[in-house]
A and B are shown apart, each in its own frame.
Chain A
Amino acid sequence: MPISTKTKDNAVNEFNQYVKPVSLWADAWKRLRRNKMALMGMWIVGIYIFITFFAGLLPFFSYTDQELMHANLPPSFKPAGIVTLERLEMRKLELESAIAQTNREDLKTDLTRILLEAEQLKTEIDSNPVHKRVYILGTDSLGRDMLARTIYGGQISILIGLIGTLTAGLIGIVLGAMGGYFGGWFDNLLGRFVDIMYSLPYMLIVIIIMAMIETTNPTTKVFVLFIAIAMISWLTISRVVRGQVISIKNSEFVEAARSMGASSPRIIFRHLLPNTLTIIIVYSTLSFPSFIMNESFLSFLGLGVSAPMASWGTLVSDGVQSMQLYPWRLLVPGAAMTIFLFAMNFMGDGLRDALDPQSKNRT
């Protein structure tokens, strides 16, 4: 077929066959769809985000509802009243055998108290709707539903990760693009600064900052936490964007834009940055989990989110205190967090392979 007859819209490959043009995104989507693990990651992340943002509309218990009678109940599909009663019966048997052996007075008073409690519970078990609740993941030391607590902790953790990634991304993209585009002293200064920040034991400095701020307002504390973590998270992304911008800033299309009188901001934002978008997406997805990790790391040390707020880190930290007796209080938030980060990392890896095929098999 002579080349002159081909129509404008159809691309031709080196063997002169018609090929359907495919956009970058469609191509990436095709690659992503073949990656089973990444797809699974995407689904899990989607479900988490859906539950987190619509928790108020879904039939969960409130995360603040305390029912001291239901403290430290194990995970069960049975109504709380029955689980509590079973626990009291167990305790009764234990005490009775202990009394038979030692005949201690204090155990006897314990026993009468438990018998009374059981009696009272039996009378109200059908009338009081509280005892109809089902705690599928157990309760904490104040009788709050672990599932609701974990979802609430996830709200805070995911929100911190999301806002943090956006802030860090914005700072990193703008500074990196400017450094790469303008070069010169600005780029040098930026490079020096990034080098020094990298060689700082930064998390230790964040620990100092968080331990030293004296505020009783938990919102202020979370705000400081944000700033402290965002201060370092933009470094990597700024380096990556800078490198990309340098590699394309002398290409013909940029020159064309400049010759038509486009201003520097217009060239950066309309021509250069869209070409670095794939890399920005990939790095943002991968920095999201590390943000959550850093936040909960600090919260675990008692330096991050403080009560009455809770994040996954504080929930795990609470759970560790009593893990021998009530292991679900550690395992539930720990597992919820690990599954989310696992899915997030698989999704990030998959996106990188899909959007940036050359980087495949690296790291």
Chain B
Amino acid sequence: MTRFIVRRLLSTIPTLFVIITLSFFLIRMAPGGPFAREKKVPPEILQNLLKKYHMDEPLPQQYFRYLGDVLRFDLGPSFKYKDQTVNDLLGTTFPVSLTLGVMALAVATFLGVLVGIISALKQNKWQDYAAMSVAVLGISIPLFVVGPVLMLVFALILDWLPTSGWIGSRAGWATVVMPVMTLMLPPFAYIARMSRGSIIEVIRSDYVRTARAKGLKENVVITKHVLKGALLPVVTYLGPAFAGIVTGSVVVERIFDIPGIGKIFVQSAFNRDYTVIMGDVIVYSLILISANFIVDVLYGILDPRITYK
């Protein structure tokens, strides 16, 4: 097990390296730069600016300098947000996005499994059809439609919830409700479908029949025997689900004006704020990589049949 964890951790290094290299050169290949503006900067000042940010060096040298900085956990200064380093910027925005993402995933998992259980136990009854229609709807309806519609109904028409902002603002925790509801919809729908499918499969298996034959109560059979076996595929899905939530948060943070990394990401891409984009991509990749890593380890703990070589 320990060997597996170490090897798995080591294998993330090349992935991260590929991501950094790819995005570094992709960003630099694009025309324009952080100092290209409508009003031309005088050449002497431009020269000084370039020198200050080491952008007068040849590209490979800049690349290796950046790699060295990253190894020391220094993501450099921002080009556009004056007097802020990328570390500062991510330090304030990352907790916001993480809170949003974790809450959305938690709600999605809880509701998804619940709906999956109900659906599977009432297979081919109206409850099942209703739940699965909702699940397909959750997969089909784009986040950028759900978000504004929720906002229109609950904030602008009914005036129950604030339109935008985050926990720190005057409205407090009420700001969380709509963003989390929006972001959790696709993973909720997938988890509901997956848990329904695997519960239906497990419920017909021999060990469940044995449990029933022993005279166990139905709810004990479901919680202790069926769910344990049926929820493994759901655990594996949590990795990709996190990836979906990361992408989705870019849109949701924009719609609800949440000060997270997703919001500054698109803005920095337009601004050519090289260091901020790179920092953002690295943080996002680290989230994905660690989510997948945790899922892999969790899978091994939950399923004793899996042995790690």
Contact = CB atoms under 8 A, between A and B. Distances in A.
A174 B292 CA distance: 29
B140 A342 contact: yes
Interface string A305-323: 0000000010011011001
B152 A323 contact: yes
B204 to A, nearest CB: 10
B251 A201 contact: no
A317 B142 CA distance: 12
Contacts of A341: 139-142
Interface in B258-280: 265-266, 269-270, 272, 277, 280
Contact of B156 (A211, A324, A338): A324
Interface in A297-345: 297, 300-301, 303, 313, 316-317, 319-320, 323-324, 327, 330-331, 334, 337-338, 341-342, 344-345
Contacts of A303: 266
A42 to B, nearest CB: 14
Contacts of A196: 15, 18
B139 A337 contact: no
Given A212-B27, A330-B148, A200 B197 contact: no
A214 interface: yes
A204 to B, nearest CB: 6
Given A330-B149, A337-B142, A349 B136 contact: yes
Tell me the dominant secondary structure on chain B's binding face: helix
A338 B31 CA distance: 37
Interface residues of B, number: 53
A212 B149 contact: no
B10 interface: no
B145 A337 contact: yes
A204 B281 contact: yes
B149 A208 contact: no
Nearest to B123: A361
B296 to A, nearest CB: 12
A293 B142 contact: yes
B136 A346 contact: yes
| Contact-size category for A | 35 or more
Nearest to B278: A208
B66 interface: no
Contact of B265 (A204, A317, A331, A361): A204
Nearest to B149: A334
Interface in B147-175: 148-149, 151-152, 156
B136 A214 contact: no
Contacts of A209: 26
A345 B140 contact: yes
Contact of A345 (B32, B139, B280): B139
Nearest to A286: B139
Given A205-B26, A342-B140, A345-B136, A324 B152 contact: yes
Contacts of A319: 148
Given A200-B18, A338-B137, A344-B140, 16 more contacts: A200-B22, A200-B285, A203-B250, A204-B246, A205-B22, A205-B23, A316-B144, A316-B148, A317-B144, A319-B148, A324-B156, A330-B145, A341-B139, A342-B141, A361-B197, A363-B194
Interface of A: 37, 196, 199-201, 203-205, 207-209, 211-214, 289, 293, 296-297, 300-301, 303, 313, 316-317, 319-320, 323-324, 327, 330-331, 334, 337-338, 341-342, 344-346, 349, 361-363
26 contacts: A196-B18, A201-B19, A201-B243, A201-B247, A201-B288, A205-B23, A208-B27, A208-B277, A212-B31, A212-B32, A212-B272, A293-B142, A297-B142, A300-B144, A301-B251, A301-B266, A316-B148, A320-B144, A320-B148, A323-B156, A330-B149, A331-B149, A334-B145, A345-B139, A362-B201, A363-B193
